[in-house]
Amino acid sequence: MKNQTFPPDKGGLGGLNLKISQANLPSAPGVYIFRDSKNRALYVGKAKNLKKRVASYFRKNITLAPDKKLMVPKIKKIEHISVDNETEALLLEHNLIKKYRPRYNIVFQDDKSYSYIKITNEKFPAVFLARPREAKDFKAAKFFGPYTSSENARETLKVLRQIFPFRSCYKMPKKSCLYDHLHLCPGPCEQKIEPQEYKKIIQEISRFLTGQHQEIIQNLKQEMETASKKQNFEKAAILRDRLFALAKIQEKQKVITRDSASQDILSLARAKKISAINLFLIRGGRLIAKENFLLGHTIGKRDAEIIQKFAENYYLRQETRPREIILPVKIKRLSFLKAKITIPQKGIKKKLLAMGAANAQEFLKEHLRKKRAEETKNQKALSKLASYLKLKKIPRRIETYDISNIQGQQATGSMVVFKNGKADKSAYRRFRIKTIKAANDTGMIAEVLQRRFLRSTRKSQKSWPMPDLILIDGGRGQLNAGLKILKFYHLAIPIAALAKKLEEVYLPNQKNPLTLPPASQSLMLLKRMRDEAHRFAISYHHNLRSRIFKV
Number of Cβ within 10 Å of residue 491's Cβ equals 16
Nearest to 89 by CA among 146, 29, 176, 39: 29
Tell me if 285 sits within 8 A of 260, measured CB to CB.
yes
301 residue type, one letter: K
What's the confidence (pLDDT) of residue 116?
86
**Separation of alpha carbons 153 and 408, rounded Å:** 40
Measure the CA angle with vertex 95, ends 89 and 100; round to 5°.
120
Tell me if 114 sits within 8 A of 147, measured CB to CB.
yes
- For 124-182, write each residue's pLDDT tens digit: 999 999 887 665 666 778 888 888 778 878 888 888 888 889 999 988 888 888 888 88
Instruction: Write the DSSP assignment of 125-146 as a string of letters.
Output: -BEEEE---SHHHHHHEEEEEE
Domain boundaries 397-550, CATH class? alpha beta
What's the confidence (pLDDT) of residue 136?
63
φ, ψ dihedrals at 526, nearest 5° = -60, -45
φ, ψ dihedrals at 427, nearest 5° = -100, 0
Tell me if 525 sits within 8 A of 386, measured CB to CB.
no
* Cα pseudo-dihedral 454, 459, 461, 463, rounded to 10: 20
Nearest to 34 by CA among 9, 70, 87, 59: 70
Tell me if 34 sits within 8 A of 43, measured CB to CB.
yes
* Cα pseudo-dihedral 34, 38, 40, 45, rounded to 10: 0
What's the confidence (pLDDT) of residue 219?
81
Q: Is the dihedral of CA 340, 345, 349, 354 positive or negative?
A: positive
- For 221-276, write each residue's pLDDT tens digit: 888 888 888 888 887 887 787 777 777 666 555 555 556 678 999 999 999 889 99
What's the confidence (pLDDT) of residue 213?
75
Region of poorest pLDDT, from 433-442, 463-472, 493-502 = 433-442
- Which positions ≥6 away from 200 have C-beta within 8 Å? none
**Separation of alpha carbons 259 and 256, rounded Å:** 9
**Separation of alpha carbons 82 and 79, rounded Å:** 10
Domain boundaries 2-105, CATH class? alpha beta
Q: Regarding predicted confidence, which is higher, 114 or 536?
A: 536
422 residue type, one letter: K
**Separation of alpha carbons 23 and 80, rounded Å:** 13
- Which positions ≥6 away from 48 have C-beta within 8 Å? 29, 86, 89
333 pLDDT higher than 50: yes
What's the confidence (pLDDT) of residue 545?
65
In the chain, how many H helices and how many E strands?
Answer: 15, 21
Tell me if 403 sits within 8 A of 413, measured CB to CB.
yes
User: Residue 289 has what DSSP assignment?
Assistant: E
Nearest to 118 by CA among 98, 93, 94, 139: 139
Region of poorest pLDDT, from 17-21, 141-145, 294-298, 498-502 = 17-21
Question: What is the pLDDT averaged over residues 315-333?
Answer: 87
Residue 75, SS3 per DSSP: coil
Q: Is the dihedral of CA 80, 82, 87, 91 positive or negative?
A: negative
φ, ψ dihedrals at 186, nearest 5° = -80, 5
Hey, do 262-366 and 397-550 end up sharing a CATH topology, with the first three levels equal? yes
- For 355-409, write each residue's pLDDT tens digit: 999 999 999 999 999 999 999 999 999 999 999 999 999 999 999 999 987 665 7
Question: What is the pLDDT averaged over residues 64-74?
Answer: 86
Question: What is the pLDDT averaged over residues 80-109?
Answer: 85
Most confident segment among 153-167, 172-186, 310-324, 495-509: 495-509
**Separation of alpha carbons 278 and 274, rounded Å:** 14
Instruction: Write the DSSP assignment of 372-434 as a string of letters.
Output: HHHHHHHHHHHHHHHHHTT-SS--SEEEEEEEEEETTEEEEEEEEEEETTEE-GGG-EEEE--
Q: Regarding predicted confidence, which is higher, 451 or 1?
A: 451
Question: What is the pLDDT averaged over residues 415-425?
Answer: 94
Q: Where are the domains of the chain?
A: 2-105, 112-211, 262-366, 397-550
What's the confidence (pLDDT) of residue 8?
41
335 pLDDT higher than 70: yes
Q: Regarding predicted confidence, which is higher, 328 or 314?
A: 328
- For 12-52, write each residue's pLDDT tens digit: 444 445 455 555 788 889 999 998 888 889 999 998 889 88
Phi-psi region of 28 (alpha: psi -120 to 50; beta: other; left: phi over 0): beta
Domain boundaries 262-366, CATH class? alpha beta
